[in-house]
Amino acid sequence: MHNTDIVIIGAGPAGLFSIFEAGMLKMKCHVIDTLENIGGQCSALYPEKPIYDIPAHPKILASELIERLEDQAKPFQPVYHLNQQVVKISENADKTFLVETSKDTKILCKAIIIAAGCGSFGSNRPPLKNIENYEGKSIFYSVRSKKEFADKKVVIAGGGDSAVDWAISLSEITKKIYLVHRRDKFRCAPDSAEKLKDLANIGKIEMVVPYQLDGLVGDNNNLQKVIVKDFDNNIKELDADYLLPFFGLAMELGPILNWGLNLHKNQIDVNQANMRTNIAGIYAVGDIATYPNKLKLILTGFAECASACHDIFKLIFPDQVYRFEYSTSKGVN
C-alpha cells in the first residue's frame, strides 16, 4: 500500500507538468500509465516530430519536450507506476481515495488528476509465437534511450511515422538496421519518405518489402533472428539483436467509463475554472478534459494543470491560507 497526496493517471505532457505544479505547492504525486515509458503519445507515436507551439521553443522535438518535463518534475521525487492500468477507484469515508491497478498496486490519496489524453493506450502487439518471452528484453514498442541500440542489429516493423522516424534516427548508430513493411509505400511525412529513400540507396537501411513478421528465433529470451514472409510465402531470416514493432496504439477509455464521471464524446466534462469533475476530489486535465470552447493544445493542458493543482491545495491543506507567489520568487523547493 502506497500513500500520497495526488495520484496522476497518465504520464504524457499534462501528467508530467502536473507533478511540477503539485510539487511547487508541496504536494507529492504517484503517476500511473499503461505504457512502459513516460511521455504518452509524444514518446510512443511521434518522438522525432517537431512541435512548434510550445512557448519559448520555436521548435522542439516531442521526445525532447518529454525529457525537459521529466527533468522539471524530478526535484519533487514523483513515483512512477508504468505498464499498468487503473482498474478501480474507491472513495473512503474520510473522502480519500483508494486507487488500484492491473498489477495489484494500491495507492491511498487525497485527490486524483486524470491526464489520460485520448484514454488508455496499449501497443498493438504482432501475433508472434512466444513474443512475450522477449518483450522488455529484446522487443520494445517504444524507444526510451537510443544508445541502447548502438552497434546492434535492429529490425523495425511498421509503415507509419514512428517506424520511419526511428529507422532514420537509429541508422546513425546501429550496426545494421532493417525496415519491414508489407508494402513499399509508407504513411509518413514526405520529407521523411525522402530521407528514408536516400538512406536505403546508400545502404544505411535495408528495406524488407513487401514482407510481414512471421516468427522469432532466440536463446534464453535473447533474440537472434526475426523471420519474415512475403505474400508468396517466401521466407527470410534477419539476424537481429532487437525487434521494434511499431503498429500503433490501441486507444480506449477502458475502466474510466465505469467511474461515474460525466462524459461527453469520450471526454470528461469539467469546470474550466478549477478542472473539477462531477466527483469531488477528482480532476481532469489535457485532451481528456472538455468544456465550452476548449482548445486541444499542449499549452492549454499546462494551464489546466496549474488550475487543478491550486484547487487541490485546498483539499490537502484545508487549514492553510495560500499566498500566491511566482516561481521567480519562491524557486523550486
Burial class (CB in 10 A: 0-12, 13-18, 19+), 151: exposed
Which pLDDT value is given to residue 150? 95
Of 187, 215, 247, which residue is a domain's last? 247
Cell numbers given for 138: 529484446
Predicted confidence at residue 108, as pLDDT, reads: 98
Same domain, 180 and 143: yes
Out of 198, 226, 247, a domain closes at 247
CA distance 252 to 101: 16
CB atoms within 10 A of CB 92: 9
Q: Could you tell me if 241 and 254 lie in one domain?
A: no
Q: Which DSSP helix (H) or strand (E) runs through 269? A: strand 267-269
Are residues 118 and 130 located together in one domain of the fold? no
Please give the grid coordinates belonging to residue 105. Answer: 498496486
Lowest mean pLDDT, pick from 104-113, 211-220, 254-263: 254-263
Question: pLDDT confidence of 251, banded at 50, 70, 90?
Answer: low
Cα distance between residue 199 and residue 126, in whole Å: 26
Query: Residue 184 carries which side chain, given as an amino acid letter?
Result: D
Q: What are phi and psi of 107, to 5 degrees?
A: -130, 125
Q: What does the pLDDT look like over 78-128, one tens digit per residue?
A: 999 999 999 999 999 999 999 999 999 999 999 999 998 765 556 788 999
pLDDT at position 284, please?
97
- Mean confidence (pLDDT) of the chain: 91
Residue range 319-330: mean pLDDT, rounded: 74
Domain identity same for 23 and 112: yes
Which domain CATH number covers 10? Answer: 3.50.50.60
Considering 185, 216, 247, which residue would you say is the last residue of a domain? 247
- Shared-domain flag, residues 225 and 311: no
Q: What is the pLDDT of residue 122?
A: 60
Return the percentage of the chain with pLDDT > 70, whole number: 94
283-314 burial: b if 16+ Cβ within 10 Å, else e: bbbbbbbbbeeeeeebebbbebbbbbbbbbbe
Three-state SS for 298?
helix
Co-location of 110 and 254 in the same domain? yes
Distance, CA of 225 to CA of 6 (rounded, Å): 45
Asked whether the predicted pLDDT for residue 156 surpasses 60, the reply is yes
Over 80: is that where the pLDDT of 325 sits? no
pLDDT at 321: 80
Whole-angstrom distance, CA of residue 1 vs CA of residue 201: 55
Give yes or no for a contact between 176 and 198, defined as CB atoms under 8 angstroms apart: no
Q: Are residues 107 and 131 in the same domain?
A: no
What is the extent of the structural domain holding 164?
A: 125-247
Which pLDDT does position 41 carry in this prediction? 81
Cell for 155?
Answer: 529490425
List phi, psi (to 5°) of 213. Answer: -65, 140
Same domain, 195 and 259: no
Question: What pLDDT sits at residue 47?
Answer: 75
Do 243 and 260 lie in one domain? The reply is no
Q: Could you report the per-residue pLDDT of 164-212, keeping only the tens digit for each?
A: 988 998 999 999 999 999 998 998 888 889 999 999 999 999 999 999 9
Total domains in the chain come to 2
